[in-house]
A = this chain, B = another copy of it.
Amino acid sequence: MIVCRTKAELKEQLQNLRLAGKTIGFVPTMGYLHEGHASLLRRAKEENTAAVLSVFVNPMQFGPNEDLDRYPRDEERDLGLASQCGVDIVFMPSVSEMYPSAPLTAVVVHKVTEQLCGASRPGHFDGVGLVVSKLLHLVNPNKAYFGMKDAQQVAVITQMVIDLDFPVEIVPCSIVREPDGLALSSRNVYLTPLQREQAVILSQTLKLADQWIKEPQLTVQSLVGRAQEHILQASEAIIDYVELLTFPELTRLEDDIRVSEIEQPLILACAVKFGSTRLIDNTILDKMEV
């Protein structure tokens, strides 16, 4: 496994892979890797003949009052896990390597960024669009793998790739969960034992929602209301948002329509704070089973 810290090294190593006729599966991350990332890396390696991982905590996607400074990092452990997953190249640039000067160019995706984390975290997806554009240009992968925990990120990047004709296939991958249902996240380490215990309420609520939508009269409003109520059973939970939207367009729905009458795929997504730690989770509601 080769570790590249500069764009020039990466370019050289990728040329070697390309000359050897390898296809490249790419997993961009912010590091502090967990089993969710590992599942992406293993899939990248399975579906391509080489896997490239990037580890870069992108300052451009954090707001001024967000957790950039305390975002967890553990380079050594990340390299160990990457190696176990069969990664061929790890790209670990510094901030000044990625942004040698302040960029004047913005890659902005409209509409799909207006709800959910796009509304709660202004500018977040502009930072994501910028860094993912840069990384796709630097790595030029055949396929790029993204976890569905950040479902809106998948929707935004898919839209960007379609609109700009990026020559890459975006592969959305299932959320990986702890045995009790908590979606894996690098931010889970921030949780106190009590918060950790209560945080399971997110996945529990989403699982219940999969049952609730079998009720033919259930409206959008009552589904969201029930989900909010259920989450608030956890005494430490402070809801940022709970929203039911179409997927992947992420358009809003009228409050009073019946969920059973909506033909498009739907996502129920939530962001909930436990203390200063903000967790997100979501489920694509499987109405085919209704």
Contact = CB atoms under 8 A, between A and B. Distances in A.
Interface in A115-169: 129-130, 133-134, 137-138, 140, 159-160, 163-167
A184 interface: no
A110 B129 CA distance: 16
A22 to B, nearest CB: 15
A159 B108 contact: no
A109 B106 CA distance: 6
A112 B108 contact: no
A207 interface: no
Contacts of A106: 106-110
Given A106-B109, A107-B164, 12 more contacts: A11-B167, A103-B164, A105-B109, A105-B129, A105-B163, A107-B107, A130-B163, A130-B164, A133-B164, A133-B165, A138-B165, A138-B167
Contact of A140 (B108, B129, B167): B167
Interface of A: 7, 11, 103-112, 129-130, 133-134, 137-138, 140, 159-160, 163-167
29 contacts: A7-B165, A11-B167, A103-B163, A103-B164, A104-B110, A104-B112, A104-B159, A104-B163, A105-B107, A105-B108, A105-B109, A105-B110, A105-B159, A105-B163, A105-B164, A106-B107, A106-B109, A107-B107, A107-B164, A108-B108, A130-B164, A133-B165, A134-B163, A134-B164, A134-B165, A137-B164, A137-B165, A137-B167, A138-B165
Contacts of A105: 107-110, 129, 159-160, 163-164
A165 B99 CA distance: 10
Contact of A137 (B11, B134, B166): B166
Nearest to A108: B106
A111 to B, nearest CB: 5
A109 B107 CA distance: 9
Contacts of A138: 165, 167
Nearest to A102: B163
